[in-house]
Each structure stands twice: as structure tokens, then as C-alpha cells.
Amino acid sequence: MDLNGRPDPPTEAGEKETLVGFLDFQRATLRWKCEGLTPEQLGTPSIDPSSMTLHGLIRHLTENELGWFVGTFTDEPVVYPYATPERPEGDWIGLDPRHYAADLYRYDQAVERARAVIADLDPDAVGEDEGRRFSLRWVLVHMIEEYARHNGHADLLRERLDGSTGE
């Protein structure tokens, strides 16, 4: 664990353990960036003209966890909790601070479901999403990239909200 409670990725491990370690570090970074703020702060856009918020990032990455892991590597239909065909940006809009705790719980559940889905898969395992085939390796690297990019956004949002900075 690092000083902020995030799990250090392994420095000597196999491919899958290394990739999952880096993904878990990025997941913990998002949680860390949201800690200590009020639900109202978490839903406050702070970099004009963007309407992006930390609360929205939690919802967006919930849907990414479900889509990329459950949707690609199981036969289960994915029910996205926020976005719909009528409201494709539903993960980013319509935020209610009263629902943040429930949204964070839903995020944690999506992460746990993703972990369970890939627990016994090899990096070479291939799944399908919308007619395209993806290896688990590709999805893990993509999700690390997705989190890292959004954690950069989270850094800026958090600094603007309360001055906190950090990696």
C-alpha cells in the first residue's frame, strides 16, 4: 500500500497479475480523489466549459466496468444503470448529490463483478462486444488507460474544488 492507501502494483509478477495490479491502483486512485468531499462538491463542475464532475466520473467508470468486463466476457445482458439509448450521456448528467453514496456503492459492486468475471481468465481469453472481438489483455490495458486519463481529470477537478493535489 502507498501512503494514500492504494495497492502498489506488483514489481515481479506475471502478465495478468501485473495488469490487474495497475488497474486496481488506478481504481483506488479514483476513490482517493473523491474522499473527503461532500456530495455537493463531488457533483460540482469546476473547469469551464466542461460539465465533468467527480460524481460523473464514478458513474461513467461504473458503466465502463460493466460494459468491458461483463459485457465482453459473459453472456449476461448488461444493464447500464445510467445511460440509455434515449439518454446516452446519462452517466454524466442528472446527478443528484443525495444519490452519491448509492452510486459509489454501485461502482464498488461493478468493480467486484468485473474482478469475478476475469478471475479465471487468461490474458489471451477473447470475448466479444458489439460484434468485435477483444482479448482480456487488450481490455485490461484499455481500462488502465481509461482510468489514467480520467484520473488526470480527477486531479484537476479536485485541485479546483479544495486545492488538494497529488499524483
Which CATH number belongs to the domain containing residue 61 in this structure? 1.20.120.450
- pTM here? 0.94
Q: How many domains does the chain have?
A: 1
What CA–CA distances, in Å, run from 153 to 51, 93, 156, 160? Answer: 12, 17, 5, 11
Nearest to residue 142, comparing CAs of 50, 82, 71, 90?
Answer: 71
Is position 5 within any domain?
A: no
The stretches of the chain forming alpha helices (DSSP H) are 15-34, 39-42, 54-65, 72-73, 100-118, 136-162
pLDDT digits (tens, 9 = 90+) for 1-55: 787 888 899 999 999 999 999 999 999 999 999 999 999 999 999 888 999 999 9
Mean pLDDT of the chain: 95
Give the span between the Cα atoms of 144 and 73, in whole angstroms.
17
Q: Among 40-44, 102-106, 121-125, 163-167, where is mean pLDDT lowest?
A: 163-167
Structural domain span for residue 121 = 20-162
Is position 8 within any domain?
A: no
Is position 120 within any domain?
A: yes
Cβ contact 59:103 at 8 Å: yes
pLDDT digits (tens, 9 = 90+) for 67-80: 999 999 999 999 99
Is position 43 within any domain?
A: yes
Nearest to residue 47, comparing CAs of 156, 145, 132, 149?
Answer: 156
Is position 15 within any domain?
A: no
Place of cell 488502465: 144
